[in-house]
Amino acid sequence: MQPVTQNANFTPITSRDNPQLKELRRLTQDSTAYRKQGRVWLEGDHLARAALQRGLRPALGVYAESFWDRDGAAWAAHAQRNLVLPDSLFKDLSGLESPAPMAFVMELPAQSAVHATVSTVVLDRVQDAGNVGSILRSAAAFGFKQVLALKGTAALWSPKVLRAGMGAHFALDLIEGLSIEQVVELKVPLIVTSSHQGALIQHQPLPWPCAWAMGHEGQGVCEALMARAELAVRIGQPGGEESLNVAAAAAICLHASALSAVKS
């Protein structure tokens, strides 16, 4: 980042009842508020840097006073506008136990159409925000291009999923609120994991590109997707556990696909 002049423009806010602050509070505390407001909350310098590295320009920078006095000049030019709050008000906005002292507010990226032929992860009612964010990180790390979220999946751009994703959002096409009928329009092979059918993943040749379906934490992939899958594989668990966390299973599966892509 290039530092900017210490005279960077900013607007101080000192009242808890300020209308802008109320809107920000809704954005940070309601997991689906981004859909109504059309913008997302990126808290902390890691997420902020990840957005900047992808060439995105935030609409708003929000800073605790202590951070602004120390480092604000290095960040202010990247946002179209900047707000500076007393540390206590910023802490009130934050969803973290140890609040980061700065955040960006970014316009919600437009949702694109489903790309039928690219490597894809399908989220079938995965409800835990941490699991969803972790799966997005694995998808981006292992070369997948899009994530399709069926209805019932945790909100992809919620603050908790963004924090767990650690910047992966900006490397993926994210499409949410889909029906099974929209997902089965994919023209790449659909793969599912199963505890009782299919070859062990390390013994199974995997197609590339492909689509992996990751299911609900308790119920797994729904029957409709299972029926449409072209391939089912098992993840060996020699330790004897009954099942894996869905985010852990996704990491194993997506990594295996990435290795297959390199070998092919």
CB-count burial class (<10 Å; 0-12, 13-18, 19+) for 38: exposed
Burial string for 171-196 (b: 16+ CB within 10 Å, else e) reads: bbbbbbebeeeebeebebebbbbeee
State the pLDDT confidence band at 242, using cuts at 50, 70 and 90.
Answer: low
pLDDT tens digit sequence for 139-158: 999 999 999 999 999 999 99
Domains along the sequence of the chain with CATH: 11-107 (3.30.1330.30), 120-263 (3.40.1280.10)
Query: Alpha carbon of 86 to those of 19, 40, 54, 122: distances in Å?
Result: 16, 22, 30, 42
pLDDT tens digit sequence for 183-223: 988 999 999 997 677 889 999 999 999 999 999 998 999 99
Identify residue 130 by its one-letter amino acid code.
G
Considering all CA atoms of the chain, what is the largest pairwise distance in Å, rounded to the nearest integer? 65
Question: For the whole model, what pTM was predicted?
Answer: 0.92
Residues 147 and 178: beta-carbon distance below 8 Å: no
DSSP string, the chain: -----TT---EE---TT-HHHHHHHHHHH-TTHHHHHTEEEEESHHHHHHHHHTT---SEEEEEHHHHHHHGGGTGGGSSEEEEE-HHHHHHH--SSS--SEEEEEEPPPP-PPPTTS-EEEEES---HHHHHHHHHHHHHTT--EEEEETTSPPTTSHHHHHHHTTGGGGSEEEEEE-HHHHTT--S-EEEE-SSSSEEGGGS---SS-EEEEEBTTTBS-HHHHHH-SEEEE---TT--S---HHHHHHHHHHHHHHHHHH-
* Residue 1 scores a pLDDT above 90: no
199: Cβ–Cβ under 8 A, 6 or more apart, which residues?
Answer: 233, 234
Within 10 Å of residue 211's Cβ, how many Cβ atoms? 27
Distance CA 71, CA 169 (A): 26
Q: Check residues 263 and 100 and name the one with the higher pLDDT.
A: 100
Residues 105 and 62: beta-carbon distance below 8 Å: yes
Residues 10 and 84: beta-carbon distance below 8 Å: yes
Place of tokens 């437009």: 110
pLDDT tens digit sequence for 95-141: 787 888 999 999 999 999 999 999 999 999 999 999 999 999 999 99
